[in-house]
């Protein structure tokens, strides 16, 4: 009999095989097998919650009347791109010679969901045990297999994961259908996406409403001395102070020196790497994720989708070996120092699913020259961070002096670096990549307490208050990471809005859907984005919803709260959301401009107006009727109007599959419905004309054609 091990990703399966000495004894597709064990894998989530249409015909059409959608039982679908691997797992789990299964998906809530959904949907009832490790070091893997937990120990964790999936579905599906139908525009609602957009819109509002204010400071100067007064709002007050002190003597009232230490930075998790790559190289969060993923697949970086900035306690030797290679192979990181301290980057308690991102031992490969420049920038950045993280602290002396002149106080400050520490490496990196000037010491005059300086010159400097800055991808990621965190307990698995792996996609979706735009490094809301937030209720715009969910999900995972009660609360929230927002005025319905669009005719399916859109015509009531092309050829507004009247049109230059061009008359002979999945995975109902196609050149060759 054999043990079947199921991992979350193929790469983890390979690591487990290497650690346990499992070599394939045949040519197997989708798994590895020897005489004692079988190792197979998922590709992340193989199974997802089904679309509303799976619960009944009434949900194929988007309408307020059909809401709320509350499934009595949950349907699941196998993701099309993962169907083949799902069948591999299903066959393996039901093989007669498999008597035990090891759940080796990632140690966390989503990892638990990935395995359990496969286990449930295959109908498997064989016993399984849980591998719970945070490090893929060989010793950690072997120790984990020596101490497998009963699968039932993690039933509460799965309950928490299932609640998260179902709650997001209920809010997203019902909210999106409600507001899209009301406002005649696809308005996607999400627990993470909506408050993320709200933060950007609020910042834009602060900037637009900002009123600049002037302030003034008086500078007393002589030689290298430049002491500054406290700012004042009135120009007259500044003039009086300047005249009062100009040409007078100033006395050094006090000098304060303070030794300060700046600890080395932590290692990179995905979010901090995305932030630095945006700030230094201008990469978007999605680009950084793509480059890092590619390096991971080349086995040059560790797993990128992590929210930890530490390594596990057993990885010190690995970190030393990797940094030795990085210093020797291709980076100007200097020689290893005795002051290197690896203890500050090792903490198993702060590693959940995956440890921090570091280079791998594979950087010794001679093929680094073939790595694209964009990826080399990321690889270098990660290597530099590892070198900085174990280096000595940066130390300096902060100095502040207060001067008194005619009873008024002026201050000046500076600092003297006593030990560059990790900043020496960081400065060298930034200089080599032309990403910033090397840090310099402040010029600080040689002053003594009680010293009198004669003949000070006074001048007024005008300043203005500055509005908040627009978000960049760097600062937006930081805001998403912190949003609502103050309201979350220490036990929650995910803090902030989204996860390191999903934040980039959230930004990209908002840009793709026309609610955000990029201008150089700035992330700005579009007018549609501003309008979207203006029509959303406060509950959906606030990160507090995520805080409340995560706190409760943490309690469910620990067995301290009831999953059914949580879901009952979600259903109640969705019911109230719909009842309080199900009606809008005609003026409100036209918020996104559809009220001013040209009407091309009446919808033959529901009788509502068919209006002109960006990519063709569609029904104002969102019944599913769309019309923009025929046989792949774009239709004019006039042709669409004619078809909607039921009359024949002539379509020229239609291209066949073989590339030939021909003309044809199209005469509408009725309508039919069809189902399709849109680009965002939403199940939709579409509408199509059924035509009689007549060829002008060969009138005898008539045939029925469906769009």
Lowest mean pLDDT among 318-322, 460-464, 548-552, 600-604: 600-604
CATH of the domain at 293: 1.10.290.10
Gap between the Cα atoms of 76 and 288, Å rounded = 32
Q: Which of 23, 51, 27, 218 is nearest to 682 (CA)?
A: 51
pLDDT top residue among 330 and 547: 547
Give how many domains the chain has, as a whole number: 5
Using the predicted structure, report yes or no on whether residue 643 has a pLDDT greater than 80: yes
Catalytic site residues?
A: 303
Which pairs from 316-325 meet CB under 8 Å and 24+ separation? Answer: 316/342, 316/346, 318/137, 318/361, 319/345, 319/346, 319/358, 319/386, 319/390, 321/361, 322/358, 322/359, 322/360, 322/361, 322/363, 322/386, 323/383, 323/386, 323/387, 323/390, 325/359, 325/361, 325/363, 325/364
Across the strands, what pairs with 405? 408
Write a three-state SS string for 222-279: ECCEEEECCCECCHHHHHHHHHHHCCCCEEEEEEEEEEEEECCCCCECHHHHHHHHHH
46 part of a folded domain: yes
Backbone angles phi, psi at 70, to 5 degrees: -125, 95
Residue 624 pLDDT class (50, 70, 90 cuts)? low
Lowest mean pLDDT among 37-41, 47-51, 237-241, 303-307: 303-307
Quote the pLDDT of residue 511. Answer: 93
Gap between the Cα atoms of 528 and 532, Å rounded = 6
117 part of a folded domain: yes
pLDDT top residue among 647 and 40: 40
420 part of a folded domain: yes
Gap between the Cα atoms of 375 and 359, Å rounded = 12
Kindly report, residue by residue over 101-121, the tens digit of the pLDDT: 999 998 888 899 999 999 999
To 10 degrees, the CA torsion angle through 553, 556, 557, 558? 130
Q: Which of 1, 267, 298, 314 is nearest to 134 (CA)?
A: 314
H-state helical runs in 455-583: 473-482, 503-512, 527-535, 538-541, 544-557, 563-581
159 part of a folded domain: no
Yes or no: say if 354 and 134 are a contact pair by the CB < 8 Å rule. Answer: yes
Using the predicted structure, report yes or no on whether residue 579 has a pLDDT greater than 90: yes
Quote the pLDDT of residue 521. Answer: 87
For residues 140-144, give the mean pLDDT: 90
Kindly report, residue by residue over 355-405, the tens digit of the pLDDT: 999 998 888 876 778 889 999 999 999 999 999 999 999 999 999 999 999
Q: Check whether residue 642 and residue 618 sit in a common domain.
A: yes
For residues 543-572, give the mean pLDDT: 91
Q: Check whether residue 335 and residue 359 sit in a common domain.
A: yes
Across the strands, what pairs with 4? 38, 101
Q: Check whether residue 581 and residue 605 sit in a common domain.
A: no
Sign of the C-alpha dihedral computed for residues 262, 266, 271 and 273 taken in this order = positive
* HSE-up (13 A, CA, CB side) for residue 336: 16
CATH of the domain at 110: 3.40.50.140
407 part of a folded domain: yes
Q: Check whether residue 582 and residue 606 sit in a common domain.
A: no
Answer with the one of 566, 586, 606 that is the final residue of a domain: 586
Quote the pLDDT of residue 623. Answer: 63
Buried b or exposed e, range 92-110, using 16+ CB within 10 angstroms? bbeeeebeebbbbbbbbbb
**Among 12-16, 182-186, 301-305, 467-471, the range of highest mean pLDDT:** 467-471
In this structure, what token pair is assigned to residue 350? 């702060």
For residues 330-353, give the mean pLDDT: 77
* HSE-up (13 A, CA, CB side) for residue 468: 16
Distances in Å between the Cα of 513 and the Cα atoms of 188, 507, 508, 580 are 9, 10, 8, 26
Q: Which of 200, 31, 53, 36 is nearest to 677 (CA)?
A: 53
For residues 246-263, give the mean pLDDT: 95
20 part of a folded domain: yes
Using the predicted structure, report yes or no on whether residue 630 has a pLDDT greater than 90: no
Using the predicted structure, report yes or no on whether residue 435 has a pLDDT greater than 80: no
Using the predicted structure, report yes or no on whether residue 432 has a pLDDT greater than 80: no
Gap between the Cα atoms of 235 and 217, Å rounded = 9
Q: Check whether residue 15 and residue 120 sit in a common domain.
A: yes
For residues 474-492, give the mean pLDDT: 76
Using the predicted structure, report yes or no on whether residue 676 has a pLDDT greater than 60: no
pLDDT top residue among 256 and 543: 256
153 part of a folded domain: no
Q: Which of 149, 106, 140, 119 is nearest to 8 (CA)?
A: 106
Yes or no: say if 643 and 633 are a contact pair by the CB < 8 Å rule. Answer: no
Q: Check whether residue 6 and residue 115 sit in a common domain.
A: yes
Quote the pLDDT of residue 61. Answer: 85
pLDDT top residue among 440 and 602: 602
Across the strands, what pairs with 31? 40
Q: Check whether residue 579 and residue 490 sit in a common domain.
A: yes
Q: Check whether residue 17 and residue 142 sit in a common domain.
A: yes
Distances in Å between the Cα of 95 and the Cα atoms of 1, 8, 393, 555 are 10, 20, 57, 37
For residues 309-334, give the mean pLDDT: 84
Using the predicted structure, report yes or no on whether residue 700 has a pLDDT greater than 50: no
237 part of a folded domain: yes
Using the predicted structure, report yes or no on whether residue 692 has a pLDDT greater than 80: no
Q: What is the mean pLDDT of the chain?
A: 87
Residue 202 is classified by DSSP as: H
Q: Check whether residue 458 and residue 436 sit in a common domain.
A: yes
CATH of the domain at 477: 1.10.460.10
Gap between the Cα atoms of 271 and 497, Å rounded = 12
Using the predicted structure, report yes or no on whether residue 443 has a pLDDT greater than 70: no
Residue 434 pLDDT class (50, 70, 90 cuts)? low
Using the predicted structure, report yes or no on whether residue 659 has a pLDDT greater than 90: no
Q: Check whether residue 14 and residue 82 sit in a common domain.
A: yes
pLDDT top residue among 202 and 611: 202
Using the predicted structure, report yes or no on whether residue 91 has a pLDDT greater than 50: yes
Using the predicted structure, report yes or no on whether residue 492 has a pLDDT greater than 80: no
Across the strands, what pairs with 340? none
Quote the pLDDT of residue 33. Answer: 94
Using the predicted structure, report yes or no on whether residue 704 has a pLDDT greater than 50: no
In this structure, what token pair is assigned to residue 406? 């005619």
Residue 703 pLDDT class (50, 70, 90 cuts)? very low
SS3 71: coil
For residues 441-446, give the mean pLDDT: 71
Answer with the one of 366, 392, 418 that is the final residue of a domain: 392
Structure pTM? 0.77
Lowest mean pLDDT among 43-57, 516-530, 579-593: 579-593
CATH of the domain at 406: 2.70.20.10
Q: Check whether residue 34 and residue 139 sit in a common domain.
A: yes
Gap between the Cα atoms of 335 and 328, Å rounded = 8
The percent of residues in the chain predicted with pLDDT above 70, rounded, is 89
H-state helical runs in 347-464: 373-389, 422-432
Q: Check whether residue 491 and residue 569 sit in a common domain.
A: yes
Domain residue limits at 435: 214-263+395-464
Answer with the one of 419, 439, 464 that is the final residue of a domain: 464
Residue 66 pLDDT class (50, 70, 90 cuts)? very high
Quote the pLDDT of residue 78. Answer: 95
For residues 620-639, give the mean pLDDT: 75
């Amino acid at each position: 009999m054999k043990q079947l091990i199921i991992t979350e990703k193929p790469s983890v399966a390979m690591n487990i095989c290497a650690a346990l000495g499992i070599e394939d004894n045949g040519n197997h597709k989708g798994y590895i097998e020897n005489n004692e064990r079988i190792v197979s894998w998922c590709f992340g989530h193989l199974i997802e919650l089904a679309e509303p249409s799976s619960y009944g015909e009434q949900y194929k059409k988007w309408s307020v009347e059909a809401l709320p959608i509350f499934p009595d039982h949950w349907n699941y679908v196998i993701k099309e791109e993962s169907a083949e691997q799902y069948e591999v797992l299903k066959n393996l789990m039901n093989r007669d010679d498999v008597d035990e299964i090891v759940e080796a998906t990632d140690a966390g809530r989503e990892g638990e969901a990935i395995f359990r959904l496969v286990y449930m949907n295959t109908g498997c009832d064989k016993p399984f045990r849980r591998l719970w490790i945070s490090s893929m070091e060989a010793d950690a893997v072997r120790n984990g297999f020596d101490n497998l937990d009963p699968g039932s120990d993690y039933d509460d964790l799965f309950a928490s994961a299932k609640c998260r999936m179902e709650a997001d579905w209920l809010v997203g599906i019902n909210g999106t259908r409600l507001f899209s139908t009301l406002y005649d525009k696809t308005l996607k609602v999400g627990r993470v996406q909506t408050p993320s957009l709200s933060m950007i819109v609020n910042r834009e509002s602060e900037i637009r409403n900002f009123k600049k204010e002037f302030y003034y400071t008086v500078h007393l100067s002589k030689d290298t001395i430049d002491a500054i007064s406290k700012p004042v709002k009135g120009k007259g007050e500044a003039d009086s102070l300047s005249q009062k002190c100009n040409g007078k003597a100033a006395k050094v009232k006090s000098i304060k020196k303070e030794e300060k230490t700046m600890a080395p930075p932590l290692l990179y998790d995905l979010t901090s790497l995305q932030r630095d790559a945006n700030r230094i190289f201008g990469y978007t969060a999605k680009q950084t994720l793509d480059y890092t993923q590619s390096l991971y697949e080349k086995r040059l970086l560790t797993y990128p989708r992590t929210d930890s900035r530490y390594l596990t306690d057993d990885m010190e030797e690995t970190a030393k070996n990797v940094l030795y290679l990085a210093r020797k192979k291709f980076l100007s990181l200097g020689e290893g120092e005795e002051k290197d301290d690896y203890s500050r980057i090792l903490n198993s308690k702060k590693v959940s699913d995956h440890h921090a991102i570091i280079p791998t031992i594979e950087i010794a490969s001679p093929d680094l020259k073939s790595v694209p420049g964009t990826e080399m920038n990321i690889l270098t950045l990660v290597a530099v961070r590892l070198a900085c993280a174990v280096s000595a602290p940066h130390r300096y002396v902060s100095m502040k002096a207060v001067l008194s002149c005619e009873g008024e106080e002026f201050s000046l400050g500076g600092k003297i670096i006593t030990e560059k520490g990790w900043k020496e490496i960081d400065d060298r990196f930034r200089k080599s990549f032309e990403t910033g000037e090397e840090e310099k010491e402040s010029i600080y005059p040689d002053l003594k307490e009680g010293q009198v300086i004669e003949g000070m010159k006074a001048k007024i400097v005008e300043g203005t208050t500055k509005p908040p800055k627009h978000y960049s991808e760097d600062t937006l990621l930081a805001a998403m990471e912190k949003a609502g965190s103050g309201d979350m307990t220490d036990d929650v698995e995910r803090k902030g809005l989204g996860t390191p792996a999903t934040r980039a996609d959230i930004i990209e979706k908002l840009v793709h859907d026309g609610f955000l735009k990029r201008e150089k490094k700035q992330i700005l809301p579009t007018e549609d984005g501003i309008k979207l937030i203006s029509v959303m209720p406060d509950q959906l715009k606030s990160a507090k919803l995520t805080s409340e969910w995560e706190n409760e999900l943490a309690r469910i995972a620990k067995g301290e709260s009831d999953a059914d009660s949580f879901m009952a609360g979600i259903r109640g929230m969705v019911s109230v959301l719909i009842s309080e927002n199900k009606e809008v005025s005609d003026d409100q319905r036209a918020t996104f401009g559809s009220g001013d669009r040209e009407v091309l005719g009446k919808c033959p399916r529901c009788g509502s107006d068919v209006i002109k859109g960006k990519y063709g015509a569609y029904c104002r009531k969102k019944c599913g009727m769309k019309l923009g092309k025929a046989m792949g050829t774009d239709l004019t507004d006039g042709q669409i109007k004619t078809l909607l009247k039921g009359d024949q049109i002539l379509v020229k230059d239609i291209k066949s599959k073989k590339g030939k061009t021909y003309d044809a008359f199209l005469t509408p002979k009725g309508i039919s419905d069809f189902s399709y999945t849109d680009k965002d995975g939403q199940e939709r109902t579409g509408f199509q004309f059924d035509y009689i196609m007549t060829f002008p050149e060969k009138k005898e060759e008539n045939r029925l054609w469906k769009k």
